[in-house]
């Protein structure tokens, strides 16, 4: 992944942890949120980041920390962006937390790559509910698999009893690795209608965690997790103790200014329970381009705000089909916008809602807006997952794809995304289709706008530059 970043005299110093695990589903988000909530309750300023693309975990992490959560990814967001965000945070907060993605060494780049690039100690979270002595072997492997990995220790999660915790701790090769054991934390109530794991502390549905704003007892859930963590050596650490994990974050190089390609234009951004997959950095990029950003709710508003372009981000339109279909005023307003050939950029769920209809997982069919010829069908399993990039003229947008539906869409395919490892040798038909219909560009591709503001401006009506 290249040489470590060179420090300068003006590097910013701050305690930091990267919370990782041997695999998904171990409890990284719960532990990260608990740690953030615990220190925020104690009056410390906490900045949480999410490693890799993710729209749902940040809902919980932002609620726990009380501060916006941004992505860090050495490929998608880029090293320069990571340096800028980490250095800025280190100057302003008392603790930086980074939630990893998948397993510690999964993906390219992985969470381990990020930890090594910046010297951030790794806190490994292991679901120990069904193990004893093997816990020690797993902790040893995570720590020593890659030479030079910065290391903080290991936290056993979902532990059954004090005796169980003793067995886990006794299995460690190095007693200093032990940062405690968290019992399985159950919410006081459940979250009806949010999926098969609704009894979990942070409930799940397809695509990931249920967004925090959907649960009325969300703060109680976070406080329960923080209280459980408080009983561990990790949770008992104060500001002085955290200094053992202080990191010097380097000064970023100057960035090129974003050209004002959307100066004087208004971009309307859909944002509600059906369209909630919005990176804060994407909105900031629109503003950096000179756009006036206004938000609207396709679920609740009767018409579009006065605007020059529309961004329909991803989300869960399949959970709100009846309300979307019933809002005929919004459908008519969108239709008028499209018929006027005004630009629309629609990502994943936004593209789905533009289609004629959707077949849901139970086999029933529901109408959508009918602004793109075609229909989508929900699947029981993931249809696509992974990093993608989209080239527009001389500019390339980086991002990712992650969806459970498939599309049978007859609109013209203007171009396709490709996986970064494919380069220019991508096979015909590889990647996600980018459909073009009147002023609409639509795809399953989720774009990280800061990676190419020029390409974003083109999708929203400006020239590629």
Where b means 16+ CB within 10 Å and e means fewer, 165-175 reads bebbbebbeee
Tell me the β-bridge partners of 266: 292
Structure tokens at 380: 């029981």
Whether a cis peptide bond, with omega within 30° of 0, leads into 109 is yes
Angle (deg, nearest 10), helices 218-230 and 28-41:
90
**Nearest CA to 358 among 382, 332, 379, 383?**
379
Cβ distance 417 to 384 under 8 Å?
no
Which residues participate in catalysis according to the annotation? 348
- Name the burial class of residue 204, with classes exposed (0-12), middle (13-18) and buried (19+) by CB atoms within 10 angstroms of its CB: middle
Give the Cβ contact number of residue 419 at 10 Å: 15
Cβ distance 143 to 149 under 8 Å?
yes
Per DSSP, the three-state class of 182 is: strand
DSSP letters along 9-27, please? TT-EEEEEEEEE-SSTTSS
Residue whose entry in the numeric block shows the structure tokens 């900045």: 47
174 backbone dihedrals φ, ψ, rounded to 5°: -120, 115
SS3 for 391-454 is EECCEEEEEEEEECEEEEECCEEEEECECHHHHHHCCCCCCCEEEEECCEEEECCEEEHHHCHH
Structure tokens at 209: 């965690």
Helix (H) or strand (E) holding 309: strand 309-312
């Amino acid at each position: 992944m290249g040489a470590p970043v060179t420090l300068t005299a003006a590097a910013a110093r701050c305690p930091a942890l990267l919370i990782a695990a041997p695999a998904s589903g171990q409890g990284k988000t719960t532990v990260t949120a608990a740690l953030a909530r615990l220190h925020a309750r104690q009056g410390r300023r906490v900045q949480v980041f999410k490693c890799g693309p993710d729209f749902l975990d940040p809902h919980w992490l932002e609620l726990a920390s009380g501060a916006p959560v941004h992505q860090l990814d050495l490929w998608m967001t880029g090293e320069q962006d990571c340096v800028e965000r980490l250095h800025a945070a280190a100057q302003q907060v008392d603790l930086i937390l980074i939630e990893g993605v998948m397993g510690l060494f999964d993906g390219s780049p992985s969470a381990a790559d990020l930890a090594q690039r910046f010297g951030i100690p790794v806190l490994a979270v292991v679901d120990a509910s069904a193990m004893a002595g093997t816990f020690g072997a797993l902790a040893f492997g995570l720590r020593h698999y890659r030479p030079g990995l910065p290391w903080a220790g290991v936290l056993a999660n979902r532990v059954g009893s004090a005796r169980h915790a003793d067995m886990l701790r006794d299995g460690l090769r190095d007693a200093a690795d032990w940062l405690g054991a968290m019992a399985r934390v159950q919410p006081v109530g459940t979250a009806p209608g949010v999926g098969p794991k609704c009894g979990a502390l942070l409930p799940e549905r397809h695509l990931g965690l249920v967004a925090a704003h959907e649960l009325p007892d969300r703060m109680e859930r976070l406080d329960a997790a923080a209280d459980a963590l408080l009983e561990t050596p990790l949770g008992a650490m104060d500001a002085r103790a955290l200094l053992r994990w202080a990191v010097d974050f380097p000064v970023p190089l100057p960035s090129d200014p974003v050209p004002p390609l959307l100066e004087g234009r208004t971009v309307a951004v859909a944002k509600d329970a059906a369209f909630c997959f919005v990176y804060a950095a994407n909105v900031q990029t629109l503003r950096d381009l000179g756009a006036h950003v206004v938000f609207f709710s396709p679920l609740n508003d009767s018409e579009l705000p006065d605007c020059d372009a529309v961004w329909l981000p991803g989300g869960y339109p399949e959970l709100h089909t009846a309300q979307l279909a019933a809002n005929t005023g919004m459908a008519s307003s969108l239709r008028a916008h499209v018929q006027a050939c005004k630009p629309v950029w629609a990502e994943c769920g936004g593209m789905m809602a533009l289609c004629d209809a959707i077949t849901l997982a139970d086999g029933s069919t529901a109408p959508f807006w009918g602004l793109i010829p075609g229909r989508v069908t929900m699947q029981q399993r993931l249809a696509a997952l992974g990093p993608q990039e989209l080239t527009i003229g001389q500019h390339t947008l980086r991002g990712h794809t992650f969806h459970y539906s498939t599309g049978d869409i007859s609109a013209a395919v203007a171009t396709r995304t490709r996986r970064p490892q494919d380069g220019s040798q991508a096979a015909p038909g590889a990647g996600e289709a980018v459909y073009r219909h009147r002023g609409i560009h639509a795809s399953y591709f989720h774009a990280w706008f800061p990676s190419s503001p020029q390409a974003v401006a083109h999708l929203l009506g400006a020239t590629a530059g």
